[in-house]
Amino acid sequence: MSWETKTVMEQRKQFVLDASAEDVNISELCRQYGISRKTAHKWINRAELGLPLCDQSRRPHRQPSKTADNIEQEIIQLRLQHPSWGGKTIRAALEAAGVEGLPSDKTCCNILKRNGLVDPVESVKHMAFQRFEKEHCNEMWQTDFKGDFLLGNGIRCYPLTILDDHSRFSIRIDPKDTASGVKDSFILAFCEYGLPNSVLSDNGAQFAGPHKGISLFERFLMDLDIQPIHGRPIHPQTQGKIERFHRTLKQEALRVTPANMAEAKVRLENWRWLYNEVRPHHALGMKTPASIYTSSTRPYYDPKPYVYEEGAKLIKVNNWGYLRFGSVQLFLSEAMADTKVEIRFAEDDTFSVIYRNYKIASIDAIEGKLLNRHIRRL
């Protein structure tokens, strides 16, 4: 069939198909089809949401206070496709897809309730309390392993997630067969999005050091001038955003158990795209994370040896991870073995242990006792 003989609907379907191709240039494709980028994204969003590509009627309804039957059916259908989406999210998604004549957020919620699509218990759970939020993208990333689950082939899956605190943009979702390989996932994230200013994690062994020592992950971050931060033990609210993200991931992406690791990777990556590019977010004023997020201006690099100030007192950590001088014997961790650190004395009879531009411990200079082991950028 030649281009001239194709119907409008056939052209729109062909455009959506062409736009889904890998490495496609959307701007060039729009020029070929003679449409604007706004129209292109409207068609793509409607296709992603399973909505028809036909134009919506602009004719006013006879009963302005009553939602048109076709609109109500689209609200219900989208809820069935995405059971965790509330009325406000559904309305924003339909509006972004170019649907006109939509009712208010409250009416959308009432439509869901009237059709038995709202669980009162789950509704209460979704009433989130206010948490801290960083002012800029990449000021802080949050990371954690979502609780493991059993795949169809009997192998356990451990998804590692990385989330930008400000925009809620999902940086990575890496399903793994063990709760390890954190550094490799972060290197891939850094190569794609640049370096954040800090990374917030819990106190799990993959992130925080054993016996309150420095972990390999913490050293890896400090080598790149990224502040490691850990939430308070037994206080998951510190990482409220990523905890909520995990709940959404479970509700929307894992309703059906993946057969194997390969299927889990494809499904989680497809859902990550939907979460970032299509799904409106309440905390973002019903915008999508992708519309807010911008990559870091700090590119990933191979760390160079650190040059301390001239005259700095440097001591080498031994092969077992201990710092020894005078009467002091302090375990820093095997991750710091054969590494030089700086000792800075203070007037209050304490001294600080410095690694690169980070204070990693404070010690009582008289008794040689550890006062604290908090990592803080200088």
Could you read off the pLDDT tens digit of each residue along the chain, which spans 378 residues? 344 456 777 888 888 888 888 777 888 888 888 888 878 877 787 777 676 777 655 554 444 567 888 888 888 888 888 887 888 888 888 888 888 888 888 888 888 888 877 765 455 444 444 455 788 999 999 999 988 899 999 999 999 999 999 999 999 999 999 888 899 999 999 999 999 999 999 888 888 876 668 999 999 999 999 999 987 655 555 577 888 899 989 888 888 999 999 999 999 999 999 999 998 888 888 899 999 999 999 999 999 999 999 999 999 999 999 988 877 788 888 899 999 999 998 877 788 999 999 999 888 877 777 777 889 999
Our count of domains for the chain comes to 3
Sorted by sequence, the CB contacts under 8 Å of residue 73 that are 6+ apart come out as none
Residue 31 covered by a domain: yes
For residue 133, tell me if it sits in a domain: no
C-beta of residue 299 within 8 angstroms of C-beta of residue 194: yes
> Tokens 């490495």 belong to which residue?
23
Residue 152's CATH number: 3.30.420.10
Say if residue 110 is in the same domain as residue 147.
no
| pLDDT of 137 | 96
The residue range of the domain holding 319 is 313-377
- Same structural domain for residues 106 and 166? no
In a domain, 304, yes or no: no
333 & 254 share domain: no
Two tokens, residue 361 = 């411990």
Are residues 10 and 45 both part of a single domain?
yes
The CA-CA-CA angle for residues 105, 64, 110, to 5°, reads: 30
* Residue 356: inside a domain: yes
In a domain, 131, yes or no: no
Query: What is the predicted pLDDT for the residue at 304?
Result: 92
Q: Is residue 135 part of a domain?
A: no
Quote the pTM value. Answer: 0.69
| Among 112, 43, 37, 120, CA closest to 82 | 112
* Helix 87-96, helix 105-114: angle, nearest 10: 120
> Phi and psi for 161 in degrees, rounded to 5?
-120, 145
Domain end, chosen from 75, 95, 125, is at 125
- Kindly state whether residue 254 falls inside one of the protein's structural domains: yes
Pair 320, 362 in one domain: yes
- In which residue are the tokens 């989130």 written? 128
Answer yes or no: do 226 and 326 share one domain.
Answer: no
Domain boundary among 262, 292, 322: 292
* Residue 100 covered by a domain: yes
Please check whether residues 163 and 105 belong to one and the same domain. no
Residue 100 to residue 42: CA distance in whole angstroms: 12
Examine the domain organization and report whether 214 and 335 are in the same domain: no
Question: Both 223 and 288 in a single domain?
Answer: yes
